[in-house]
Amino acid sequence: MNKRKPVAAARAKTTTSAPAKRSVSVGDGADAHQQLIASRVRAGLFALFTLLSLAITAGSAGVEGNFAFWVDKVGGTDVAFSVPVVLLWAAVTAGFGAMAALQLVRGASFRWRLAIGLVSPVLVFALLTRLLDGTTANLTVFFTSTLLYTVPVGIGALAGIVSERSGILNISVEGKLLFGAMIGSIASSITGIAIAGPIAGAIFGALVSLFFAWLCIRYRVDQIIAGTVINIGALGVTTFAYLRILQPYSEFNRPIGITPIQIPFLSDIPILGPILFSLSPYFYIAVGFVLFFTYMIYRTRWGLRLRAAGEQPNAAGTVGIDVVKLRYRAMLVAGLLAGFAGSYISLSGTGGFGINTSAGQGFIALAAVIFGAWNPIYAFGAALIFGMTSSATTLLSGLGVLIPPQILLSMPYIVTIIVVAGLIGRVRAPASAGRPYDQG
């Protein structure tokens, strides 16, 4: 009652203004009306960003942004250049301004995701230079670490996409990353074979994933709860194992690292070579996976059935597709991917496995799934944005910029929250993700 009164009062106001608004939405139905509102909210946000960046532009006169590249090979000769920071901020301001205007004019048909994708790299640079305040930043390091940070998030996102397309909401990617990291490190340390790490990590990830699928499908456990159980369980088990086994018997945690490879000829290209073609093989495999699964999901029978199971499992079941088997298989693939991604975390550096070494990258991967609208290529693009944030954090903390390290370290997570909660419009999830399948 009390709650309704103000609404009733407000209604009197909307009555007068309503007809004008309605003339747009009638006939297009509910979706159009809501999208229109969403696009106006976005336009407002973009306008706000425009004003913010304009203020920063005004404050950055005279500051130089200094950059350097390694020309021929990692650690090789430098080539340096500098850009006035004002110029970068002017570009960002222009970009946001254009987005706000276009969003307002074109409404729901404006491709704002693409626009964010275009503006954000410039924004990151503008922010970087502003914070560096004249210190020189090595961009080769920045770019390579961006690409490498993308690996676990990108492959993790792929795992999320495959399982959610089949109809199982998979928040357990984080747990599988952790398990994959630990098992990968142990397998590599025991066998002394580098490739044993990723393989063991992938297999263990698949086992965990099948257990998760078994809970969800056979026992119809709520998928969010089952996923949370896996995540908490993974943290507990791996931490325990680390403290009781890996730390006292450190020979189990001295993996053979997977070292970067130099791709013949291509790695000799000046500037680009050291950035793109001298990376860990994991990166190239990740790109290969993304292309492969994009093809599989959209162009093959497997993908058609996978999507049908995730959208309308009954439609698939009644034409004779075994939805249960299909979901188990999809979860097997998702587990292999997530475990493989986890092994990267402990095998790419020198440290081996550490407590909570995945540090929430599995959750960031899920954010990338949503931002990428369940499309592997878009999700990988989203993972790149997160990778760039992480890389920028590392760069800034390495150069001793005067920002509290806690704030710097939380940057990737803050970006995740903004992306998922604030800017997301209406992304369409697979309709049946999260719901158990009932035959008949």
Q: Which is nearer to other proteins, 320 or 404 (CB)?
A: 320
Q: Is 296 in the site for other proteins (CB under 8 A)?
A: yes
Minimum CB distance to other proteins, residue 37 (Å): 7
d(CA 349, CA 381): 24
Burial letters 383-396, b for 16+ CB under 10 A, else e: bbbbbbbbbbbbbb
Contact by Cβ (8 Å): 254, 55: no
Query: Does 117 help bind other proteins (rule: CB under 8 A)?
Result: no
Cβ partners under 8 Å of residue 378, min gap 6: 113, 371, 372
Reduce the DSSP state of residue 65 to 3 states and report it.
strand
CB 180 within 8 A of CB 343: yes
What torsion, rounded to 10 degrees, do the Cα atoms 79, 88, 132, 275 define? -40
For the chain, the residue count is: 440
Cβ proximity of 260 and 245 under 8 Å: no
Nearer to other proteins, 108 or 365 (CB): 108
**Contact positions with other proteins (CB under 8 A) in 224-253:** none
CA angle 255, 260, 262 (to 5 degrees): 150
Does the footprint of other proteins cover residue 400 (CB under 8 A)?
Answer: no
CB of 1 to other proteins, least distance (A): 5
CB 164 within 8 A of CB 429: yes
CB of 305 to other proteins, least distance (A): 7
The pattern of x and - marking residues 405 through 434 that bind other proteins according to CB under 8 A reads -----------------------x--x---
Q: b/e map of 405-436 (b: 16 or more CB within 10 Å)?
A: eeebeebbbebbeebbeeebeeeebbebbbeb
Is 373 an interacting residue with respect to other proteins (CB under 8 A)? no
| Nearest approach, Cβ of residue 373 and other proteins (Å) | 12
Specify burial of residue 63 (Cβ count, 10 A radius: 0-12, 13-18, 19+): middle
Least distance in angstroms from the C-beta of 8 to other proteins: 4
Question: Minimum distance from CB of 321 to other proteins (Å)?
Answer: 5
Q: Single out the residue of 14, 82, 247, 410 in contact with other proteins (rule: CB under 8 A).
A: 14
In this chain, which stretch among 2-10, 93-101, 173-181, 393-401 interacts with other proteins, using CB under 8 A? 2-10
State the Cα–Cα distance between residues 166 and 429, nearest whole angstrom. Answer: 11
DSSP β-bridge partners for residue 67: 81, 137
- Which string of x and - marks every residue 36-75 that binds other proteins (by CB under 8 A)? -x--------------------------------------
Q: Largest Cα–Cα distance in the chain?
A: 76
Asked if 358 contacts 152 with a C-beta cutoff of 8 angstroms, the reply is: yes
Q: In angstroms, give the least distance from the CB of 162 to other proteins.
A: 15
302 sits near other proteins (criterion: CB under 8 A): yes
Binding window for other proteins (CB under 8 A); candidates: 11-19, 40-48, 72-80, 270-278: 11-19
Of 276, 304, 373, 424, which one interacts with other proteins (CB under 8 A)?
304
Residues 312-331 that bind other proteins (CB under 8 A): 312, 314-322
Q: With contacts defined by CB under 8 A, name the span among 27-35, 64-72, 75-83, 270-278 that binds other proteins.
A: 27-35
Question: Is 20 a residue that touches other proteins (CB under 8 A)?
Answer: no
The yes or no reply on residue 372 touching other proteins (CB under 8 A) is no
Residue 109 binds to other proteins (criterion: CB under 8 A): no
User: In this complex, which beta carbon is closest to other proteins, that of residue 52 or of residue 431?
Assistant: 431
* Closest distance to other proteins from the beta carbon of 175 (Å): 30
CB of 284 to other proteins, least distance (A): 20
Q: Can residue 133 be called a binding residue for other proteins (CB under 8 A)?
A: no
Q: Is 33 in the site for other proteins (CB under 8 A)?
A: yes
Strand order in the sheet with 136-138: 78-84, 64-70, 136-138
> Judged by CB under 8 A, which stretch of 12-20, 159-167, 197-205, 408-416 contacts other proteins?
12-20
Mutual orientation of helices 281-299 and 139-165 as an angle, nearest 10°? 30
| Number of other residues whose CB lies within 10 A of the CB of residue 271 | 15
For binding to other proteins (CB under 8 A), which residues are involved?
1, 4, 7-8, 11, 14-15, 18, 22, 25-26, 29-34, 37, 295-296, 299-305, 307-308, 311-312, 314-322, 428, 431, 439-440
